Amino acid sequence: KFSDHEERLSGSDREEEDEDDVEAALKKEVGQIRASTEQKLRRFQSVESGANNVVFIRTQGIEPENLVHHILKDMHTTKKKKTRVILRMLPISGTCKAFMEDMKKYTETFFEPWFKAPNKGTFQIVYKARNNSHMSREEVIKELAGIVGSLNPENKVDLNNPQYTVVVEIIKTVCCLSVVRDYVLFRKYNLQEVVKSNKEDAQQKSSLTEEQNSEVIKAETEEEEKKSSKEEVK
Compare 127 and 22 and report the one with higher pLDDT. 127
Residue 232 has a pLDDT of 52
pLDDT in tens, 13-54: 555 556 667 778 888 887 777 766 665 678 898 888 888 889
Residue 223 has a pLDDT of 60
pLDDT level of residue 65 (50, 70, 90 thresholds): very high
- Report how far apart, in Å, the C-alpha atoms of 32 and of each of 25, 28, 179 are: 11, 6, 38
Which of 182, 202, 185 minimizes the C-alpha distance to 194?
185
pLDDT score of 4 more than 90: no
pLDDT level of residue 219 (50, 70, 90 thresholds): low
pLDDT score of 202 more than 60: no
Q: Answer whether 179's CB lies under 8 Å from 147's CB.
A: no
**Domains of the chain, start order:** 46-189 (3.30.2300.10)
Which strands form 156-157's sheet, in the order they lie side by side?
94-97, 174-180, 164-171, 122-130, 156-157
Residue 42 has a pLDDT of 80
Q: Answer whether 170's CB lies under 8 Å from 130's CB.
A: yes
